[in-house]
Amino acid sequence: MSRIGKKPVPVPAGVTATVDGQKVTAKGPKGELFFVANDEVSVKLEDNAVVVEPNSQSKDARSKWGMSRTMVENIFKGVKDGYERKLEINGVGYRASLQGKNLQLALGFSHDVVYQTPEGITIAVPKPTEIIVSGISKQQVGQVAAEIREYRGPEPYKGKGVKYAEERIVRKEGKKK
């Protein structure tokens, strides 16, 4: 039995939720999101909470039960508060800046990398070595942060590159004589 799946997802104050078959739609102060649940689970709106239950006791249905409940919870949090991911840049001459909506990164290449911000995502650069990616979709915020980090991931010897703010780089010792 899924311990996560058993719990109903309460609809937060300020968010309106509708369930239409397998589609759960949430509208809140930040925007609107929806999630279409797999056919292996059933979704119902009861007592101002969304209840997710498996249709059978098959392994496939039980594996999608907890995931579906978490996805519903994520869209509720996204339309109410939103998500953000912080990135840090380490390295001499490495910096970020905004050019309109595009993010310009100087990462030690012969040219600056220009990242075009997708729709629904906001990128802020409070310091030249800090990037904040925010939006209402947890998946999209994580994807954009991962794409920015991919340009120059942190290396283990000096720690140079783009890393998540909460990420800890395991450092390696250099060559010995």
109 token code pair: 């290449």
Instruction: Answer yes or no: is 33 within a domain.
Output: yes
Sorting pLDDT into bands at 50, 70 and 90, what band is 143?
very high
Three-state secondary structure call for residue 89: strand
Determine the residue type at 35. F
Number of domains in the chain: 2
Q: Is the pLDDT of residue 2 over 70?
A: no
> pTM score, two decimals?
0.88
* Residue 154 belongs to domain spanning: 83-164
Average pLDDT over residues 104-125: 94
What percent of the chain lies above the pLDDT cut of 70?
99
Q: Which of 167, 164, 148 is nearest to 107 (CA)?
A: 148
- Among 63, 80, 97, the domain boundary falls at 80
Backbone angles phi, psi at 62, to 5 degrees: -70, -30
pLDDT tens-digit map of 52-97: 999 888 888 888 998 999 999 999 999 999 999 999 999 999 999 9
User: How far apart, in whole angstroms, are the C-alpha atoms of residue 159 and residue 172?
Assistant: 9
